[in-house]
Amino acid sequence: MPLDPQIQALLDKGTGVPATHTLPVDVARAQYEARIASMAPSAAVADVCERTIDGPGGPLRLRIYTPLGTGPFPLLVFFHGSGFVLCSLDTHDGMCRNLCAGAACVVVSVDYRLAPEHKFPAGIEDCLHAVRWAAAHASELGADPTRVAVAGDSAGGNMAAVAALRLRDEGGTPLCAQLLLYPVTDYHTPGTPSYEENVEGYGLTRDTMKWFWKHYLSDPAQGAHPHASPLRARDLSGLPPALVITAEYDPLRDEGELYADKLRAAGVPTAMTRYDGVNHGFMFWVGVADKAGAAMNEACEWLRGAFAAPHHS
Positions annotated as catalytic residues are: 154, 250, 280
Is 236 in contact with 269 (CB distance < 8 Å)?
no
DSSP category for residue 167: H
Phi and psi, residue 176, nearest 5°: -105, -10
Give the E-state strand segments of 163-212 in sequence order.
177-181
CA distances from residue 13 to 42, 239, 284, 303 in whole angstroms, order as listed: 21, 40, 15, 33
- Assign 184 to helix, strand or coil: coil
Phi and psi, residue 137, nearest 5°: -110, 20
Q: Check whether the bond before 5 is cis (ω within 30° of 0).
A: no
Phi and psi, residue 306, nearest 5°: -65, -40
Hey, CA dihedral for 143, 146, 147, 153, is it positive or negative?
A: positive
Helix, strand and coil content of the chain, in percent to the nearest 5, comes to 40, 20, 40
What does the alpha-carbon distance between residue 179 and residue 45 come to, in Å, rounded to a whole number? 20
The residue count of the chain comes to: 313
- Assign 19 to helix, strand or coil: coil
Is 226 in contact with 163 (CB distance < 8 Å)?
no
